[in-house]
Structure 1
Amino acid sequence: LDINLKELVELALNNYSNLEFNKEEVVNSIMEFFKERIKNLFRDLGIRYDVIDAILSSEINDISDMYLRATELNNWLGKDELVEMLTAFNRVSTLAQKAVSSDVNVELLKEEAEINLYKEFNNIKIKVKELLNDKKYSEALDSFASLRPSIDDMFDSVMVMDKDEAIKNNRLGLLKQIYDTMLSICDLSKIVYK
């Protein structure tokens, strides 16, 4: 069933408005319980543990949708350039955690590689959003993965952690935007590869 689990839990808890409790804490506890149940269910269905972790890292409350994403990601992991893609997105993920915000000031983009990545990302971001709306997760992953050469180029030719604080934060902001878009599909940094 295509149902928002979190909304369902919140709706059920509204029936207990006569009791004193922290609704947000209870909702989070119940959602954690369901996450553990979903992990076990998906494992029983033959989905890799790292794929499950990648899907459950995103804010998705629809179990049916989670399963669809998990099966498509499970299949998508057979790609030829998988190791290169995951390496690039792991670097993005690691640096994005250091960002103070996801704001990007275009005027602070000085290097050709970062300008190209910014432009390409903004084109892909719109396409990824449309594909996600249509539940075409494998195509969204393909579209997102097409950023890899530009990401590699930026890491090869640009010092992200620049001495100039504004430039550094701007570059981290760009990486954070890319990371946040990745999370709308799944967290590729959770995928284990050999």
Structure 2
Amino acid sequence: MTELFNTLSGGNTVSGDLSARLRERLAAAAEREGILDIAYRTVDTPVGSLLLAASPAGLLRVVYETAGHDEALSELAQKVSPRILRAPARLDIVVRQLDEYFTGRRRSFDVPLDLHLTSGFRRTVLGHLADIDYGRTESYAEVAAAAGSPRAVRAVGTACAANPVPVVLPCHRVVRSDGSSGGYVGGPDAKQTLLALEEA
């Protein structure tokens, strides 16, 4: 495996096809040997390119391109583990369910989640997001009340902005009390796209 890694990272020039095959072999070997802590891949969607990252416990991050894929991977290397590889196979089920969602064939996600990057009230808010049904919205105030802290409306906004797995945990379904969409980690256009998809 060391020889394979050196081929990929040591400056040797290999064709795109060969490089992809070598990376697949490296990821498979790392998975077999139990040294792949975070697998990642990107997927193109109607709301742009999403970076997906998973630990052995489950989906760890969904990152919009506007938030910076490289920055997210660096943060994961610092906070979780530097043993990160592009290993698409670990994320196949997430990609399939995202495709089903974006084509109107899925209304909720059924993938294991690794939420250890969040805790406390934020974690409570994230737990409630999955209870907001497809096609429905709740206000920040309603989510605060459901999370047990009716006055923590701003904290709900912060929790939604820090949601490590947007789309899968639907913080896009949280809106302002006047019905306007409010902020969103993927930007206002992405939020409107997701809400419009679910209204169709």
Flag the structure with higher strand content: 2
* Same fold, TM-score > 0.5, yes or no: no
Flag the structure with higher helix content: 1
> TM-score, normalising length from structure 2?
0.29
